[in-house]
Amino acid sequence: MAGGYSEARQNKPALVSLHTSAGTGNAMGTIVTAFLTKIPLVIVAGQQTREMLIGEPMLANREAATLPRPYIKCPPMGPVYISVPLDDWDVPYTRPVIPRSVSTRFGPDPERLKQFAERIHKAQRPALVLGAEVDKALAWDTAVAVAELLACPVFQAPMCERAVFPETHEQHHGPLPTARGPLAQYLDGFDLVIVIGAEVFRYYPWVAGPVLVDGTELLHITNDPNDAAKALICDSLLSDAGLALNGLHSLLKSLGTSKQLTKHYSHHENVLSKSKQNTSSGSLMTPLEAFSAVAEIRPSDTLLVHETPSSTADLVQAWPSTEPETCFTFASGGLGWNMPAAVGVAVAQKTISSGRLTVLVVGDGSFQYSLQCLYTAVQNQLRLIVLVPVNEEYAVLKEFAVLEETPRVPHLDIPGLDISASARSWGCSTFKALNRDELQRHFRTALTTQGPVVIEFPVDRTLRPLVAQTLSRG
Amino acid sequence: MAGGYSEARQNKPALVSLHTSAGTGNAMGTIVTAFLTKIPLVIVAGQQTREMLIGEPMLANREAATLPRPYIKCPPMGPVYISVPLDDWDVPYTRPVIPRSVSTRFGPDPERLKQFAERIHKAQRPALVLGAEVDKALAWDTAVAVAELLACPVFQAPMCERAVFPETHEQHHGPLPTARGPLAQYLDGFDLVIVIGAEVFRYYPWVAGPVLVDGTELLHITNDPNDAAKALICDSLLSDAGLALNGLHSLLKSLGTSKQLTKHYSHHENVLSKSKQNTSSGSLMTPLEAFSAVAEIRPSDTLLVHETPSSTADLVQAWPSTEPETCFTFASGGLGWNMPAAVGVAVAQKTISSGRLTVLVVGDGSFQYSLQCLYTAVQNQLRLIVLVPVNEEYAVLKEFAVLEETPRVPHLDIPGLDISASARSWGCSTFKALNRDELQRHFRTALTTQGPVVIEFPVDRTLRPLVAQTLSRG
Amino acid sequence: MAGGYSEARQNKPALVSLHTSAGTGNAMGTIVTAFLTKIPLVIVAGQQTREMLIGEPMLANREAATLPRPYIKCPPMGPVYISVPLDDWDVPYTRPVIPRSVSTRFGPDPERLKQFAERIHKAQRPALVLGAEVDKALAWDTAVAVAELLACPVFQAPMCERAVFPETHEQHHGPLPTARGPLAQYLDGFDLVIVIGAEVFRYYPWVAGPVLVDGTELLHITNDPNDAAKALICDSLLSDAGLALNGLHSLLKSLGTSKQLTKHYSHHENVLSKSKQNTSSGSLMTPLEAFSAVAEIRPSDTLLVHETPSSTADLVQAWPSTEPETCFTFASGGLGWNMPAAVGVAVAQKTISSGRLTVLVVGDGSFQYSLQCLYTAVQNQLRLIVLVPVNEEYAVLKEFAVLEETPRVPHLDIPGLDISASARSWGCSTFKALNRDELQRHFRTALTTQGPVVIEFPVDRTLRPLVAQTLSRG
Amino acid sequence: MAGGYSEARQNKPALVSLHTSAGTGNAMGTIVTAFLTKIPLVIVAGQQTREMLIGEPMLANREAATLPRPYIKCPPMGPVYISVPLDDWDVPYTRPVIPRSVSTRFGPDPERLKQFAERIHKAQRPALVLGAEVDKALAWDTAVAVAELLACPVFQAPMCERAVFPETHEQHHGPLPTARGPLAQYLDGFDLVIVIGAEVFRYYPWVAGPVLVDGTELLHITNDPNDAAKALICDSLLSDAGLALNGLHSLLKSLGTSKQLTKHYSHHENVLSKSKQNTSSGSLMTPLEAFSAVAEIRPSDTLLVHETPSSTADLVQAWPSTEPETCFTFASGGLGWNMPAAVGVAVAQKTISSGRLTVLVVGDGSFQYSLQCLYTAVQNQLRLIVLVPVNEEYAVLKEFAVLEETPRVPHLDIPGLDISASARSWGCSTFKALNRDELQRHFRTALTTQGPVVIEFPVDRTLRPLVAQTLSRG
């Protein structure tokens, strides 16, 4: 929840209070995600009194700062963890408290940025790949300006936790594939790829292949020294994404860069249109149909949070983001994050009285991880609609099993989960929709309902390929 | 679940399979408890392929073995953690597999044990304090033999995770207080306290005071070098509890030890009888009444698992354990452990076709942590009855607030939780009992019901002192 | 040695090859210093074969990457540690090796820099404090330009490991005190202190007091996010020192900043002149006299490395640095670093055929830590002169004992060390000088000697205050 | 030094005081060895004041307890590390200090020991392998009694840091090979190998092969749970070596075990006699000749410490140990340990006024690591003779290069080291011996010399195989 709250407040730090070892243990899954999503949480954990610690009493933090270590305080932002002995709260602080500020962004090395601009200026077939740092830096406008100067396709970085570019813009070409070989193939034909504000690259399953095919070069701009260090192939430059885009725009203009939107990336052009033909063969809605039904009638300033692993691509297609800072998910893949995160986003709206709606799209499997957070949503009467496509299976792992060629993996079906009954046990309003009309009707009702509402709807169970395929060239 | 399963199988190692960082993070809370409860889990965690690791892909374990470190592999037993790169599963193992065995227990240093026996022989007013290692070593009989030779009171170590002595035996005097000052007061009057198979001591809240009052000496026998090292005041001896008790029994007999059961501990004698008078003033059952109602009619070989922090004392009183290895809880206090642990205990009964019933007593707050595990109980049609005393509050923290003199702590009430609706959402049978008769009736029905059953019953909300008080001397 | 080599090559990474656990253990002291001095070493450590590792054979790295952890890879630069199983060297690498580059510097957030410039412009009595990052960024010229615009005193950051400003410049005012209270007093009277390229502040002994006195504000520019985070009082900005100084210069010029060199810091003005009166009362040279004797006749492009804790102030005074990248010591205080570092500096000169002389000034105590490195200097016939002031005591700890008011600390005298005999045992030429003339004569001889030369000279044993005192105001 | 002192005092804990990060870093190499050699050091490290720590001042321990972690506090004994903030020394301790004791040894599980005894009783061709725990447990006599009952050969565990059995006893067969394949071959022909008080096995270089050949089984007794866990092939039992040997002896006697010394291990019988023929072909002494010359005339209660990697086998042969606790080296292979350790052993003799001589045998390469410790030996006028065989090369690495088939490794010659000059620079008496007579003469002079004496002698440079070869069967 704190993570969602911070995200919805432009990554202001949020304070988290945990029990000692037990609480820290229970929270570690979300600390992992907060770390990878780079959310500045200040986590205060209880600790027994200093006098007791020598004897390692019950509920003491053992090696207080070791447990969360690998997932604490990445540069430039992330969770920090403070273990506070109980009796420290009683010690008076006698000095004046002088607030201090630390700059949280930095700019590019100007000489290196100039080299980058010159290489971009000379490129014949460039492509832009944008990542979450662009959204966090409030830099959509600058990204559009640079993209239009280059007249090139704009891809979203793979497994990206934010929308990063107007998804209805004609240069927007959707997300890159999530595995090494296919991603390299996908970028074949571009001579220069410029990755801004993302890792190079965030892969999910292993599919062999080179990082890039011959003939493709890569420039990389990030504000994370660790991401710069670990990138496999590229020249990297450290900078805030917004400051770098700004600088690039000036430099490219002064170099006279002005490209024409060409057809050299024709092998990508039909991706969206083709997949749009995805419709259900049976009586159940496809995820795409269901998401489209809601997207059509959502308020335009709705905040979207999502965790629906097997139908994320459908959601992104059905629900294009057109405003910055309106679409959130996790960078970690650690299921169970987004449902409480959505509660946190809705708490933030209530706190600042924005009046905006938060919509969570969460699969029936993902729904199970942290469903207790609905109680908080009910107790605080939050403006939150939870959409649950129900397929009664762990579909993304079935897709994984197809990729790995390991048939008959057991225990991937999850029948008999009564989503609505669960939600009602914490006092939540619920609806069940069997078709498009019912779904739109319930959503409209939910818009005028006090407190959170859960809408579940069964969906078609057709599996998709885990890694998007490159279409054949025309 | 794996922890409960291992506990119910005499601590045979159980195999746990986790997703990578995300799964390990989610599991850390239970790993903490498995560590402190010394349960031998072999935890296999996924990891990306070795080729991918260089680039820290999504869902990679970062510093694979660091995250769980402080809670891995304590001596003599505990969880171990193995991070396995995905492609390692494909490497053939060509050598013969030669199973090996490692002794999991060791005996005392005979010279030191002899010194201990001589000091015990000379003691005027000894007391025995027994801990969970006695139960794990299958040493109730030997403990009874030694206790009867000494004719002294037998206390359960504070916050003990097992029953360790026949609780209807006339020398059984219940658990020690859980805080330093009161515990020392409680043992005032004994000249020699012999702690076997426990920490010295496992404290929960901080209440100032000496570890022991002047005139009390302490001998300590444990199989955990860490517990021996961290004990605050005592002479320690490393040994399996059963082997040490056996050795002590022989030595004491050969020394001619034969004490009379005296009244020197009269200030403890009325503890149980007095608190038995606890009855409800209103129309709701007290926890003690409710637990007694069920205990009367339980099958004699029932396995009890419990997590009901504010009424544990009532449960222990109402439901005396009379057989070894029948009563389980956690050593950590990390709420959320015992509900899945009970499922694991019930799985173990099914696996070995014991036909024995597992009963879980879990507070309505504790119920919320890991309630998803009921789905597993339903899918496997386990013989499990879950008893939920409902007080709609976080009572143990209210008691803590009284101790700390911090009134008006917010957010300690938890109204509106529909325990039965939650349980039903995973397919569980449920009952609600408002009085003793209904509770017994539902329990009897549950005994003949296929699959798990949840019985909730509202209880009286009177708070108790967090730390048991020493009664005034007569 | 590798550290000195890297320092002398503008912090190019240097490759270090270590034995496994034993070698890493032996090297840890220098790894600590390399970390704190931010030297980019690539440390390759041996490791047993993968097949053997399961059994923890002799000379295996235990938890390979844990041992050096707290001192590895700070941002922006520092040592990295790679533990390589022996058989990995035999695995062919089949992909093309594509060199990549990562920018090692970044610029300031322009908005925040503008705010800084405005605050500096408005300051009545500013002071500049410069740290080692200024020297590493090759930014002396820019620092002088900014300093002259501000017409303010320039201090060296306390315990600074580089010379950072022309030390004969009239605005140069030497280093700040090394403890909290005295440092705050020293800066009393300035309304704005601008610290660039240093910690705020690197303290050595504890002397109580505020970080700053009321009326003094502090701006902080560093390229190290950790230093920015841990600073106690200030507003911080992340940037390369050179890029920030450059930007500040432009902004201040455009704001019309042009201050007059005033007398408001008159209480600092006589520091240098007064201490210059330091002369020996007896027949032995003072350290100041000895260092001055050599400084007078040194070649102008001499590279100075020093580790003479009790007479560093004298050395800095006697031997003002007038060129960038000519003066090196450690940031850690971990004795034993600088003697091998000087060997590394001299190796670098030989490698690039610079023809420049390296001079090491090292106390007779510090001389003992790593004296074996002289063998390398001899075997490689390096152009290195080692000056050893001999006081036969651990003088800096005696000064510490005076500060802590703990008289009669034992074992601080170290008589009977034959520095020359030690040096000769590795084949080094040696001289002993009893007075100024002999010292200059031997130094001149050493200048024309093939291979390294050690010159020892006894010095006066008068102790100095550990922390420099603020002079009374005129 | 502290390690040697503790070893020579039957592993009483020794107190070590270190500077903070710098001192801990410098000491890490020896901490690694103290850990692996299981020496109970209490290491107190300085730390800045608590008030300062928040700002990470100079000379602070960064993550105080992390640096030495992997090498701290193994069970059952080892170094512990305590980082003490400076101001903690000023806090009064008001409670009474009650000394406590913890048993440092434990006995075997009697049931398992009985199983072991029965398997041993049934063995046709058993072999005993003894490790350092036997010497530390003061159990030579019991080991001899068991060995004589079994009438089997007794091997020293590979790379063993103690003498563990009377080396002139007819059943003593010297150390096992130090690599996997050869060791398994060496034990071929025995049907049951009983390893007591050692790892299974401590390998040094990698030579492929099985752990044991078919037909050989292995029983393992150790007091280290970690060694029990990591053993590759065997059934393990946890126990103090002395208690286990005692128990085995009783059980075997009651089983009527009484074997005849047979010739079934004839392929080992000539190892010692054959290698004794090793004599120099030239004018220089061989190491064997030199060591024998001294061994003949040493006082019978001399304490031997050694670090002469390329001639350890010669030393063991020339200087058989006939008394327990008289022969010490390291368990780690981390060069540089044994010279200060010998100083510590000699300090211990002075402390307890034993009047016994300490002899250190140290190669001219090993001599270089920690030679400064001679200053302590001189200042304390210790009864210590240092024997330095000089071969002017890093012979053990040359042998390693032969094994690895990597010819022409550079930098393995170390000419021009003047051992005597180094020693004299700290005030040590020195001699140089060119032949057997001179060596004996100087050693006799050294016996009557006040303070430490270094005797260097050039030796023949013939390389030996790194791993001992199995002799062909007769």
Cα four-point dihedral sign C180, C186, C192, C195: negative
- Per-residue pLDDT at A75: 57
- The upper half-sphere exposure of residue B167, i.e. CA atoms within 13 Å in the direction of its Cβ, equals 21
CA of D208 vs chain B CAs: smallest distance (Å): 13
Q: Which residues in chain C touch residue B65, judged by CB atoms under 8 angstroms apart?
A: 63
For all residues of chain A together, what is the average pLDDT?
Answer: 89
Is the pLDDT at D227 greater than 50? The verdict is yes
A102: nearest CA partner in chain C: C236
B180: nearest CA partner in chain A: A52
Q: Test B231 with D100 for CB contact under 8 angstroms.
A: yes
For testing contact with chain C, the best of D47, D61, D66, D67 (most C CBs within 10 A): D67
- Strands, E, within C37-188: which ranges? 41-47, 80-85, 126-130, 154-156, 172-175
CA of B98 vs chain C CAs: smallest distance (Å): 15
Greater model confidence, D433 or C262: D433
Is the pLDDT at C65 greater than 80? The verdict is no
Condensed to tens digits (0 to 9), the pLDDT of residues D21-63 reads 888 888 888 888 888 888 888 888 888 887 777 777 777 776 6
Tell me the CA distances in angstroms from A144 to A138, A158, A171, A200, A323, one per residue in order.
Answer: 12, 19, 9, 21, 12
Tell me the CA distances in angstroms from B456 to B414, B421, B425, C65, one per residue in order.
Answer: 15, 11, 15, 51
Find the CB nearest C334 among D25, D55, D333. D25
D200 near D232, Cβ under 8 Å? yes
Task: Say which CATH topology domain C110-268 has.
Answer: Rossmann fold (3.40.50)
Nearest to C340 by CA among C99, C12, C14: C14
Question: What integer is the mean pLDDT of A219-242?
Answer: 91
Q: Residues A106, A110, A112, CA angle at the centre, nearest 5°?
A: 105
Q: Residue ranges of the alpha helices (H) in C14-139?
A: 21-36, 50-53, 110-122, 132-136
- Per-residue pLDDT at C353: 96
The least confident of A129-143, A228-242, B343-357 is A228-242
Q: Which two tokens stand for residue C403?
A: 């500060």
Is the pLDDT at B10 greater than 90? The verdict is no
**Other CB atoms closer than 10 Å to residue D415's CB: what's the count?**
8
B211: nearest CA partner in chain D: D95
D169 near D154, Cβ under 8 Å? yes
A65: nearest CA partner in chain B: B70
Q: Could you tell me the CATH superfamily of domain D278-458?
A: Thiamin diphosphate (ThDP)-binding fold, Pyr/PP domains (3.40.50.970)
Q: What is the dihedral of CA D231, D233, D239, D245, to 10 degrees?
A: -130
Q: Which two tokens stand for residue C414?
A: 């170290």
B418 near A425, Cβ under 8 Å? yes
Residue type, C346: A
Condensed to tens digits (0 to 9), the pLDDT of residues B180-194 reads 999 999 999 999 999
- Per-residue pLDDT at A467: 86
Q: Which residues in chain B touch residue C63, judged by CB atoms under 8 angstroms apart?
A: 65
CA A261 to chain centre: 29
- Per-residue pLDDT at D50: 79
Which chains have at least 3 CB atom pairs separated by less than 8 Å from chain D?
A, B, C
Question: What integer is the mean pLDDT of A321-343?
Answer: 93
Q: Which residues in chain D touch residue C427, judged by CB atoms under 8 angstroms apart?
A: 416, 418
Tell me the CA distances in angstroms from D336 to D364, D367, D396, one per residue in order.
Answer: 11, 7, 15
C313 near C275, Cβ under 8 Å? yes
Is the pLDDT at A71 greater than 70? The verdict is no
B181 near B339, Cβ under 8 Å? no
pLDDT band at D69 (very low <50, low <70, confident <90, very high): low
- Per-residue pLDDT at B59: 73
b/e string for A241-257 if b means 16 or more Cβ within 10 A?
A: bbbbbbbbbebbeeeeb
**Other CB atoms closer than 10 Å to residue C125's CB: what's the count?**
17
Q: Which two tokens stand for residue D261?
A: 């010394």
Q: Which two tokens stand for residue A389?
A: 């496509």
Q: Which residues in chain D touch residue C56, judged by CB atoms under 8 angstroms apart?
A: 230
For all residues of chain D together, what is the average pLDDT?
Answer: 89
Three state DSSP letters for C300-315: CCCEEEEECHHHHHHH
Is the pLDDT at C221 greater than 90? The verdict is yes
- Expressed in angstroms, the distance from the first to the final Cα of chain D is 47
Q: Test C110 with A107 for CB contact under 8 angstroms.
A: yes
How far apart (Å, rounded) are the C-alpha atoms in residues A134 and A153? 16
How far apart (Å, rounded) are the C-alpha atoms in residues B249 and B117? 9
Condensed to tens digits (0 to 9), the pLDDT of residues D139-176 reads 999 999 999 999 999 999 999 999 999 999 999 999 99
The least confident of A423-427, B6-10, B60-64, C433-437 is B60-64
> In degrees rounded to 5, what are phi and psi of residue B332?
-105, -25
Which chains have at least 3 CB atom pairs separated by less than 8 Å from chain C?
A, B, D
Find the CB nearest A103 among C75, C233, C237. C237
Which chains have at least 3 CB atom pairs separated by less than 8 Å from chain B?
A, C, D
User: For a pLDDT cut of 90, what percent of chain D falls above it?
Assistant: 63
Question: What integer is the mean pLDDT of B430-439?
Answer: 97
Locus of tokens 């019933």: B357
Find the CB nearest B107 among D106, D210, D229. D106
CA of C93 vs chain B CAs: smallest distance (Å): 12
Condensed to tens digits (0 to 9), the pLDDT of residues C401-426 reads 999 898 889 999 999 999 999 999 99
The least confident of A325-329, B153-157, D366-370, D468-472 is D468-472
Condensed to tens digits (0 to 9), the pLDDT of residues A189-217 reads 999 999 999 999 999 888 989 999 999 99
- Per-residue pLDDT at D367: 97
Q: Which residues in chain A touch residue B31, judged by CB atoms under 8 angstroms apart?
A: 25
Cα four-point dihedral sign D154, D157, D159, D163: negative
* CB-defined contacts A:B, below 8 A: 198
CA of B238 vs chain D CAs: smallest distance (Å): 6
How far apart (Å, rounded) are the C-alpha atoms in residues B160 and B156? 7
Find the CB nearest A334 among B25, B67, B378. B25
Domains A2-90 and A278-458 fall in the same CATH topology: yes
With an 8 Å Cβ cutoff, the interface of chain C facing chain B consists of 63, 65-66
Q: Test C65 with B65 for CB contact under 8 angstroms.
A: no
Q: Test B237 with D75 for CB contact under 8 angstroms.
A: no
CA of B229 vs chain D CAs: smallest distance (Å): 7
Q: Test B106 with D105 for CB contact under 8 angstroms.
A: no
Is the pLDDT at A32 greater than 90? The verdict is no
Structural domain boundaries of chain C?
2-90, 110-268, 278-458
- Per-residue pLDDT at B118: 97
CA of C182 vs chain A CAs: smallest distance (Å): 18
A375 near A426, Cβ under 8 Å? yes
- The upper half-sphere exposure of residue C68, i.e. CA atoms within 13 Å in the direction of its Cβ, equals 35
SS3 (DSSP) at D115? helix
- Per-residue pLDDT at C38: 84
Q: Is C232 left (phi over 0), alpha (psi -120 to 50) or beta?
A: alpha
A420: nearest CA partner in chain B: B425
Is the pLDDT at D103 greater than 60? The verdict is yes
A28: nearest CA partner in chain B: B25
SS3 (DSSP) at B44? strand
pLDDT band at C71 (very low <50, low <70, confident <90, very high): low
A93: nearest CA partner in chain D: D51
Condensed to tens digits (0 to 9), the pLDDT of residues D326-344 reads 999 999 888 999 999 999 9
Question: What integer is the mean pLDDT of C324-343?
Answer: 93
- Per-residue pLDDT at B270: 39
Locus of tokens 């002595």: B165
| CATH architecture group of domain A2-90 | 3-Layer(aba) Sandwich (3.40)
Condensed to tens digits (0 to 9), the pLDDT of residues D299-324 reads 999 999 999 999 999 999 999 999 99
- Per-residue pLDDT at D415: 94
For residue B312, what are the contacts with CB-CB under 8 A and spacing of at least 6?
Answer: B306, B329
Q: Which residues in chain A touch residue B51, judged by CB atoms under 8 angstroms apart?
A: 206, 208
SS3 (DSSP) at B393? strand
B367: nearest CA partner in chain A: A372
Condensed to tens digits (0 to 9), the pLDDT of residues D381-435 reads 999 999 999 999 999 899 999 998 988 899 899 999 999 999 999 999 999 999 9
Q: Which residues in chain D touch residue A65, judged by CB atoms under 8 angstroms apart?
A: 63
SS3 (DSSP) at A231? coil
Q: Test A63 with D65 for CB contact under 8 angstroms.
A: yes
| CATH architecture group of domain B110-269 | 3-Layer(aba) Sandwich (3.40)
The least confident of A55-64, A81-90, A105-114, B376-385 is A55-64
- The upper half-sphere exposure of residue B18, i.e. CA atoms within 13 Å in the direction of its Cβ, equals 30
For all residues of chain B together, what is the average pLDDT?
Answer: 89
How far apart (Å, rounded) are the C-alpha atoms in residues C195 and C172? 15
For testing contact with chain D, the best of C69, C206, C220, C370 (most D CBs within 10 A): C206
Condensed to tens digits (0 to 9), the pLDDT of residues C82-140 reads 888 888 888 888 877 778 888 878 999 999 999 999 999 999 999 999 999 999 999 99
CA of D49 vs chain A CAs: smallest distance (Å): 17
How far apart (Å, rounded) are the C-alpha atoms in residues A311 and D37? 58
Residue type, C427: G
Q: What is the DSSP letter of A102?
A: B
- Per-residue pLDDT at D266: 46
With an 8 Å Cβ cutoff, the interface of chain D facing chain A consists of 63, 65-66
* CB-defined contacts C:D, below 8 A: 197
Entry pTM: 0.90
Greater model confidence, A37 or C74: A37
Is the pLDDT at B137 greater than 90? The verdict is yes
Condensed to tens digits (0 to 9), the pLDDT of residues C424-468 reads 999 999 999 999 999 999 999 999 999 999 999 999 988 888 887
Locus of tokens 């009166």: C277
User: For a pLDDT cut of 70, what percent of chain B falls above it?
Assistant: 91
Is the pLDDT at C74 greater than 70? The verdict is no
CA of B41 vs chain A CAs: smallest distance (Å): 17
User: For a pLDDT cut of 90, what percent of chain B falls above it?
Assistant: 63
Q: Test B225 with D105 for CB contact under 8 angstroms.
A: no
